[in-house]
């Protein structure tokens, strides 16, 4: 199945809006205490709403639909990255369609190349 077909089938499942208004940034313990107060890329963003949305959607995709499940995971990865950026700008939602399809395709192909996927 082609990327476009999988993308077009899975994207609408996310609905009209990705809401991560309950999100927060988790800063890992640092070896050295410093005065740095700004977040950096090693900090982790978490939104229970976004994670729950992904889990609920995953439950609706058949186990044997490996391509659909991989696309869903890929979209979650990309949406999580965008949610973090938007969160830092005090924006708490975005439309799934506003994410560049090429970015999702790049991540999808990267995920396909990983060893675990090759076993599917």
What are the pLDDT tens digits along the chain (120 aa)? 799 999 999 999 999 999 999 999 887 665 555 555 555 555 789 999 999 999 999 999 999 999 999 999 999 999 999 999 999 999 999 999 999 999 999 999 999 998 565 555
pLDDT value of position 34 = 56
DSSP state of 97: G
Which whole-number Å values give the CA distances from 27 to 9, 24, 42, 43, 60, in the listed order?
Answer: 36, 10, 8, 5, 33
pLDDT value of position 26 = 84
pLDDT value of position 1 = 73
Nearest to 98 by CA among 18, 9, 44: 18
- In sequence order, what E strands does 1-120 have? 18-19, 24-26, 44-46, 93-94
pLDDT value of position 36 = 53
pLDDT value of position 7 = 98
Name residues whose C-beta falls within 8 Å of residue 37's C-beta, 6 or more positions apart in sequence. Answer: none
- In sequence order, what E strands does 10-81 have? 18-19, 24-26, 44-46
pLDDT value of position 39 = 53
- pTM given for the model: 0.84
pLDDT value of position 44 = 84
Nearest to 10 by CA among 64, 55, 74: 74
pLDDT value of position 67 = 95
pLDDT value of position 114 = 85
CA–CA separation, 117 and 72 (whole Å): 14
């Amino acid at each position: 199945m082609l990327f476009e077909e999988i993308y077009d089938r899975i994207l609408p499942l996310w609905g009209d809006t990705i809401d991560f208004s309950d999100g927060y940034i988790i800063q890992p313990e640092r070896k050295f205490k410093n005065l740095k107060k700004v977040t950096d890329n090693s900090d982790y963003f978490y939104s229970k709403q976004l994670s729950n949305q992904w889990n609920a959607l995953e439950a609706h995709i058949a186990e044997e639909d490996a391509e659909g499940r991989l696309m869903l995971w890929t979209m979650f990865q990309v949406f999580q990255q965008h949610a973090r950026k938007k969160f830092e700008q005090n924006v708490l939602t975005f439309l799934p369609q506003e994410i560049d399809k090429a970015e999702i395709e790049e991540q999808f192909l990267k995920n396909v190349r990983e060893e675990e996927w090759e076993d599917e």
